Structure 1
Amino acid sequence: MKQISIPAGKKVYFASDNHLGAPTMELSRPREKKFVAWLDEIKHDAAAIFLLGDLFDFWMEYKTVVPKGFTRTLGKLAEISDSGIPIIYFVGNHDLWMNGYFEEELNIPVFHKPQQYKLNDTSFFIGHGDGLGPGDIGYKRMKKVFTSPVSKWFYRWLHPDWGVRLAQYFSVKNKMISGDEDVHFLGEDKEWLVSYAKRKLETQHYDHFIFGHRHLPLEIDLNGKSKYTNLGDWISYYTYAVFDGTELSLVKYEA
């Protein structure tokens, strides 16, 4: 379990699901500026920042090419990372194809699976959340196909102008962005990430489970000693979580 110590007066921040670039670069620009303003505010007391995936609506790294745009976000992340504040990134289902750029250019570690952290004396299980828990067999199969080395090798043979444009088209059509059937609370018994967290607790205790992906700000008590938090998004809710070393809170950002 990775350890992060939080100095007095400092906090740890968590955010996810910005989907920058959706539905177009121009329409997502105000959301990007709002997110950058938030980063600029929290850098003054951040001990660490966790970004839990889908920062971009599509991200594909070719050998020498990355998608155009997002200059404000990447510049602010570089500034914060260069200042010595650790930023930890978890890939989501829209940015599965990260492959070294964040690590090499921004000094930001990138994880493709959930990780366990201890912040001071509090334990956390952290991940994007896609493909976890029961059900959603179709997506799990699709993810295996998309993340296979063979699929990535074939896709890279497309010229970036075609590859990025094609992926952006299908990404915007994703029901998590263009529709709302999956962004309603299903009830605790039907929330698959809640079920996943409860099963994990059968073998090991965690004080907090933090996920993104569902686009809903949620706080659910699991067993009286552990809590599940979903971070919401930066499309409709502009919510994030903050841990002050003792308490975890879900907060709405007001610019």
Structure 2
Amino acid sequence: MVVQGADLGDGPVLFISDLHLCSAQPALTALFRHFCWHEGRAARAVFILGDLFDYWVHRDQAAETPYTEILALLHGLHKQGTTVYLMVGNRDFALEADFLAQFGIIALPDPALLQLGDQRILLTHGDLLCSDDHRYQRFRRVIRHPLTRLTLGRLPYAWLQRIARGLRRGSSREVRTKAPAITDANPQTIVAALHGEGAFTLDGATYDILIHGHTHRPVWEQGPEGRRMVLGAWGADGAQIGRWENGQWSLQLLSPP
């Protein structure tokens, strides 16, 4: 998918990821509410690059707290003129395009190409870049396989919630035991992504900038093959979010209200 026209109109283009919104973290919902009321309303477009929710297993969650408010906030941005794009992450990959469209949210595939002026930006959640984590990559292929998705889609909502909680506990244990380099983006895979190779091939051309989240290691850096922006995870101290305005890029702190 190629996203064009995001550079038209007034206001900045914003990039966020790894919000992990859930009922157990009301402070994060408050931070997101603040973001939507202020930064979001002033933006021409907001790109959510995965893990908006701490987990998402079924659209029935939309009737629960805080998901009802979160989706309403995004719908409000859409109605007041901010274009909202959403790419799923490893925790909320069960979000479906037709469901998101009900709230005016445009679903993005992973990866996706964003054209801003003469710059080609590769957008991805970031888990595909962690190619040294072989165990996770195998799990990713299995859990996202159409047959797995079909099977899970037939289970009762309560069962899906229990499965999600178990997977989250297991994931947390694994991350604590793995070396930091294993759970970070692989340098060679970053180069391959900027070259448009492998899973990151979209139109056969290279990219100028790579933007992703997932690793929770925010940085805005210039490498030999191009620039890379890593978005920060949301927490009690706020979040590092990406910003493009008038041709200028920055990684800025979103402070708690």
SS in 2 for 1:58: coil
Cα deviation 1:190-220 (Å, max 9, x = unaligned)? 9535432322344644221100100121122
SS in 1 for 2:25: helix
Structure 1 position 180, deviation (Å): 5.4
Normalising by structure 1, report the TM-score: 0.84
Equivalent position amino acid for 1:28 in 2: Q
Q: How does 1:133-172 map to 2 (within 5 A)?
A: 134-172=131-169
Q: Within 2, Cα distance between the matches of 1:120 and 1:133?
A: 29
Q: Within 2, Cα distance between the matches of 1:9 and 1:160?
A: 42
Equivalent position amino acid for 1:120 in 2: G
Q: Within 2, Cα distance between the matches of 1:113 and 1:136?
A: 18
Match of 2:72 among 69, 72, 75: 75
* 1:47 maps to 2:44: yes
Q: Within 2, Cα distance between the matches of 1:110 and 1:146?
A: 19
Q: Within 2, Cα distance between the matches of 1:162 and 1:10?
A: 43
Aligned residues: 244
What is the aligned partner in structure 2 of residue 10 from structure 1? 11
Q: Judge conservation of contact 1:183–1:215 (CA < 8 Å) in 2.
A: no
Cα deviation 1:48-91 (Å, max 9, x = unaligned)? 100011111111236xx345332221111010112232111111
Equivalent position amino acid for 1:135 in 2: D
Gaps of 5+ in 2: 197-204
Counting aligned pairs with the same residue, the percent is 23
Q: Judge conservation of contact 2:72–2:103 (CA < 8 Å) in 1.
A: no
Match of 1:197 among 190, 197, 200: 190
Q: Judge conservation of contact 1:131–1:139 (CA < 8 Å) in 2.
A: no
Normalising by structure 2, report the TM-score: 0.83
Q: Judge conservation of contact 2:221–2:229 (CA < 8 Å) in 1.
A: yes
What is the aligned partner in structure 2 of residue 174 from structure 1? 171
Q: Within 1, Cα distance between the matches of 2:83 and 2:29?
A: 21
Q: 1:191 to 1:155 in 2, by over 3 A?
A: closer
Structure 1 position 94, deviation (Å): 0.4
SS in 1 for 2:234: coil
Q: 1:116 to 1:100 in 2, by over 3 A?
A: closer
CA RMSD of aligned residues (A): 2.7
Q: Within 1, Cα distance between the matches of 2:109 and 2:141?
A: 13
Structure 1 position 5, deviation (Å): 4.3
Q: Judge conservation of contact 1:232–1:238 (CA < 8 Å) in 2.
A: yes
SS in 2 for 1:209: strand
Q: Judge conservation of contact 1:240–1:253 (CA < 8 Å) in 2.
A: yes
Q: How does 1:1-255 map to 2 (within 5 A)?
A: 1-7=2-8, 9-21=10-22, 25=23, 27-61=24-58, 65-66=60-61, 68-69=64-65, 70-132=67-129, 134-175=131-172, 186=181, 191-202=184-195, 204-223=205-224, 226-235=226-235, 237-254=238-255, 255=257
Equivalent position amino acid for 1:171 in 2: R
Equivalent position amino acid for 1:18 in 2: L
Q: Within 1, Cα distance between the matches of 2:57 and 2:14?
A: 26
Q: 1:85 to 1:145 in 2, by over 3 A?
A: same
Structure 1 position 112, deviation (Å): 3.5
Q: Within 2, Cα distance between the matches of 1:122 and 1:17?
A: 25
Judge which range, 34-43 or 11-20, deviates more: 34-43
Q: 1:89 to 1:132 in 2, by over 3 A?
A: same
Gaps of 5+ in 1: none
Structure 1 position 7, deviation (Å): 4.4
Judge which range, 226-235 or 131-140, deviates more: 131-140
